[in-house]
Amino acid sequence: MTVTELVSYEDALASYDPVMGLEVHVELGTRTKMFCGCSTGLGADANSQTCPTCLGLPGSLPVVNATGVESAIRIGLALNCDIAEWCRFARKNYFYPDMPKNFQTSQYDEPIAYDGYLDVQLEDGEVFRVAIERAHMEEDTGKSTHVGGATGRIQGASHSLLDYNRAGIPLIEIVTRPITGAGARAPEVAKAYVAELRELIKALGVSEARMEMGQMRCDVNLSLRPHGREKFGTRSETKNVNSLRSVERAARFEIQRHAAVLDGGGTIVQETRHFHEEDGSTTSGRVKEEAEDYRYFPEPDLVPVAPSREWVEELRAALPELPRLRRNRLREEWGISPFEMQSVLNAGAVGLIVATTDAGAPADQARKWWMGELARRANEHGTELADLPITPEQVARLCALVAEGSLNDKLARQAIEGVLAGEGGPDDVVAKRGLKVVSDEGALGAAVDAAIAENAPIADKIRGGKVAAAGALVGAVMKSTRGQADAARVRELILERLGVEG
C-alpha cells in the first residue's frame, strides 16, 4: 500500500471548499425478494434461497414485489420527495459474475421518488438541509468471495465463490444533490446525514438498516474547489463506507488527500476508492478511464409502476412522526440539552427511554438508568443497549421501587445485576436476594449508635458544627447494614443523635 501524502485538515479547508455527494443503498426488510418469491432471510446456506428468476435462468421473468414499491414510496415521502405518477424500471447492463443476468434491474431516468430533502441536525443543534436528487428501486447482486488472495480482494485470488442468496434483494438507492456550503463541517454533515437517514428508515419500519450487516451501505463522493470558484472539481468515489464513524473519516481523509494532490500541482483522477477501517485511509480501486456505458433501456419484462394519487396520499397520511421532530419534542419534554440528547441518540436509547416512561417511570429516572448503569453494563458486555436482557417495563418497575423507598440506588443496581443474570424480574430478584431497605428504626438506631461510638473523632467534628463530615458516618452505617438502609434517614438519625441541625 502506498503511503498517501496528506495536508492538515485546517490547511485543506483554508484553501478549498469541499463538495460531497452521498449515495446510500438500503436493503429493504421485505419478506421476499424484489422480483421473485425467494426468502430474504440472512444466514442461510449459500445458494439455498434462489429460484430460476433470481438465478437469471433462461426463460425466467421478474414480477415486482408490491411491498418493495410501497416501501420506496414511503421513503420518498419521508424525504419530502415528489412521487412519480408513472415510472419504469430500466436495465443497467454490465458483466459481473455475481450478477445473474449481467444486467441489474434498476431505475434510470424515471425514479419513483425525486426532488426532496432531509434536514439533519448537527451535534450543536444546527440544522443543515441536504437536498435529495432521487430515490429509486433496484435489486441487489449476489456475493463474491475471493479465495486464496492476501486481502480477500480479487487480485491474487485463486478462485471465487458465488452466493446468489442476496441476488434480487430489494434495494432503495438514495442519492443527494451535491452538498455545498458545509465547509469544515462537511464530514460531520455526511455522518449526520447518514445517521438521520438510518433513523428515518428505522422509524418507517422498512429496514433494520444495520450498517454492520450491510443492510445500509454508503458511497462518499467528494471533490474540492478553490474558494470562490463555481465549477466543481473532479471527484473520487469512495465505495462501501459502512459505519457512521467511517463516513466521517472517509470524507475527512479525502479532503486532506485531494488538497495534497491539488497543492502539489497534480490533478485528481476520477476513480473508485476503497476505505480502510484500520487507519481511516482510502486507496485507489478501479480507474475510470472512460465513463462506463451501462446502455440503460426500459425493462421490457416489467410493466410501468403507476401509483395512484389516492394511495400515495394514504401512505403520506400514515407516515410516522419523523425522527428529528420526535427527538426535538422528546428533548423538550425531558428538559435536556441538545448535547445530552445526542448522547441518548448515540447510545441507541431514545426508544428504550420512551418505552420506560410509557411503562410509568418519570423520564429523568428512565434516562438516568438507561444512560448510567445500563449503558455501563452494555459497554462491559460489548452489546447494544437494546440487546441487554432487561425490558423497559422492568426498568420502570425498578424506578417505582426506588421512588417508594423500597430500594435505594445501590440496591437497585444489585437488582439490575440480578435481572441481567437471569434471576427473574426486579421483584423476584429483590425477594431472592433480600434487597430491602432497612427501615426498622430500632435496628437502624443501633447501627447509628455503633457508628458514632466507633468514630468518636468524626462525631466530635460534627458536634462542633462540621455537618459535612456526617457523610463518613453515613457511609459506615450503610456499610454495616450492607447497603440496605435509606441513606437520607441515616443522616437524619446521626444529626439528631449528635444534636446538630441539618
**Helix axes 409-420 and 392-403, enclosed angle (nearest 10):** 160
Q: How far is the CB of 418 from another protein (least distance, A)?
A: 55
Residues 2-41, mask of contacts with another protein (x by CB under 8 A): ----------------------------------------
Report the Cα–Cα distance between both ends of the chain, in Å, rounded. Answer: 69
Among 43, 95, 309, 499, binds another protein (CB under 8 A): 95
Residue (37 or 181) nearer to another protein, CB: 37
C-alpha 83, offset from chain centre: 27
Q: How far is the CB of 28 from another protein (least distance, A)?
A: 19
Q: Which stretch binds another protein (CB under 8 A): 4-12, 22-30, 49-57, 434-442?
A: 49-57
3-class DSSP assignment, residue 200: helix
Among 42, 122, 131, 162, binds another protein (CB under 8 A): 162
Among 18, 21, 76, 100, binds another protein (CB under 8 A): 100
Under rule CB under 8 A, how many of the chain's residues touch another protein?
Answer: 30
CA 497 – CA 479 distance, rounded (Å): 19
CA 29 – CA 23 distance, rounded (Å): 19
3-class DSSP assignment, residue 239: strand
The DSSP element (H or E) to which 475 belongs, if any, is helix 470-480
Q: Which stretch binds another protein (CB under 8 A): 61-69, 206-214, 322-330, 379-387?
A: 61-69
Looking at residues 170 to 189 of the shown chain, list those that interact with another protein (rule: CB under 8 A). Answer: none
Among 8, 48, 61, 124, binds another protein (CB under 8 A): 61
Beta strands per DSSP E along 94-235 = 103-106, 113-121, 127-139, 143-147, 159-163, 170-176, 216-226
A 10 A CB-CB count for 237 gives 18
Among 55, 122, 175, 268, binds another protein (CB under 8 A): 55
Residue 370 carries which DSSP code?
I
Residue (64 or 354) nearer to another protein, CB: 64
Among 297, 333, 339, 446, binds another protein (CB under 8 A): 297
Residues 404-423, mask of contacts with another protein (x by CB under 8 A): --------------------
Residue 300 binds to another protein (criterion: CB under 8 A): yes
Which candidate, 259, 256, 254, 253, places its Cα nearest to that of 227?
A: 259
Residues 342-361, mask of contacts with another protein (x by CB under 8 A): --------------------
- Contacts of residue 462, Cβ cutoff 8 Å, sequence gap at least 6: 469, 470, 473, 494, 495, 498, 500
Beta strands per DSSP E along 194-314 = 216-226, 236-241, 271-276, 281-287, 297-298
Residue (4 or 144) nearer to another protein, CB: 144
Q: How far is the CB of 108 from another protein (least distance, A)?
A: 11
- Contacts of residue 271, Cβ cutoff 8 Å, sequence gap at least 6: 236, 237, 284, 285, 286, 287, 288
Give the angle subtended at the CA of 230 by the CAs of 224 and 235, to the nearest 5°. 30
Beta strands per DSSP E along 294-368 = 297-298
Among 56, 76, 323, 426, binds another protein (CB under 8 A): 56
Residue 290 carries which DSSP code?
S
Looking at residues 208 to 237 of the shown chain, list those that interact with another protein (rule: CB under 8 A). Answer: none
Residue 116 binds to another protein (criterion: CB under 8 A): no
Q: Which stretch binds another protein (CB under 8 A): 59-67, 258-266, 330-338, 485-493?
A: 59-67
Among 43, 58, 265, 382, binds another protein (CB under 8 A): 58
Residue 329 binds to another protein (criterion: CB under 8 A): no
- The residues with which 21 forms a beta bridge, in sequence order, are 221
The DSSP element (H or E) to which 263 belongs, if any, is helix 244-263
Q: Which residues bind another protein (CB under 8 A)?
A: 52, 55-64, 91, 93, 95, 97, 100-103, 160, 162, 291, 293, 295-297, 300-303
